[in-house]
Amino acid sequence: MTILQNAADVLRLFGAGCTELTVSEVTTRLDMPKANASRLMKAMREAGILETIGDTRRHRPGRLMLDLSAAFRRSSGVIGKASEVVAGVTQRFGHTGYVTLREGLEVTAVADFPGTNALRVVSNIGRRLPAAKSATGRSLLARLPEAEVRALYAGQADLDVLLVNLAAVRRQGYAYSSQEATPGVDSIAIAVADPATDEAVSLCIVYPHAVVDKAGHAEMLDALASGAARIAEELGDTAFVTPKT
């Protein structure tokens, strides 16, 4: 493997459940010789990709990664537009919101907007979830042709169930999850894309199951759907299905 691939593997270890790493942890988790891991992380520190935390031997992503993350969001028109919508819905209802991308069989948030209610879902930006097992993932998978979904999930026992779920998402224009990825948490997700760049994102609101009734769910869905429909019209996303609220 190249040094770039190895560095990427180290960065993929970071997430909501892992914010710091030592050389020993990288050695164990990547099954890499300790001397190699030490040299690699030293090179990453010198490049600004990693930085040590105080005087410890623990590492976190460097400032360069923050700059790159901000540049990535600014370079994507659909992420920026989706962020504006989700931020507005979060501010209005007080529940946490995300903008999410799919990579292969997983989804991860690229922007988050923490809720303000006393009882709210804690932000999980960076946490990777199985696309088939989350509302954001299903909203994005539903935009794919069935043949492509079958190829992605070839050989998996629950493929037929997934296809049925995605058909429902296509009909109603949004995905809903109740206490699926996280106990006690529900979510609403709507996907929209920029045809010019072929980049699709999911706009998502997550909230405690116990505090939102059917009327509240419908109100949030309507707000998220209105924003997503506006983005689709602006970008010319003809594949967008207007959510049935």
Residues 153 and 58 in one domain: no
Q: State residue 3's pLDDT score.
A: 80
Residues 25 and 115 in one domain: no
pLDDT tens for 128-153 read 889 999 999 999 999 999 999 999 99
What is the extent of the structural domain holding 58? 3-67
Q: State yes or no: pLDDT of 126 exceeds 80.
A: no
Q: State yes or no: pLDDT of 222 exceeds 80.
A: yes
Task: Name the DSSP class of 15.
Answer: B
Q: State residue 59's pLDDT score.
A: 87
Residue 95 lies in a domain: yes
- CB-based contacts of 211, cutoff 8 Å, min separation 6: 117, 119
Percent of the chain with pLDDT over 70: 90
We report the CATH number of the domain holding residue 9 as 1.10.10.10
Q: How far apart are CA 226 and CA 232, in angstroms?
A: 10
Q: How far apart are CA 225 and CA 177, in angstroms?
A: 16
The backbone torsions φ and ψ at residue 199, rounded to the nearest 5 degrees and listed phi first, read -105, 120
Task: Specify the amino acid at residue 31.
Answer: D
Final residue before a domain boundary, out of 23, 50, 67: 67
pLDDT tens for 176-221 read 999 887 888 899 999 999 998 889 999 999 999 888 999 999 999 9
We report the CATH number of the domain holding residue 130 as 3.30.450.40
- How long, in residues, is the chain? 245
- Total number of domains constituting the chain: 2
- CB-based contacts of 79, cutoff 8 Å, min separation 6: 72, 73, 99, 110, 111, 199, 201
Closest-CA residue to 11 (of 108, 98, 83, 78): 108
Mean pLDDT of 65-85: 73
Helices (H), 47-133: 63-75, 77-93
Task: Answer with the residue of higher pLDDT: 80 or 226.
Answer: 226
pLDDT tens for 15-38 read 656 778 889 998 988 898 999 989
Residues 86 and 200 in one domain: yes
What mean pLDDT is reported for the chain? Answer: 87
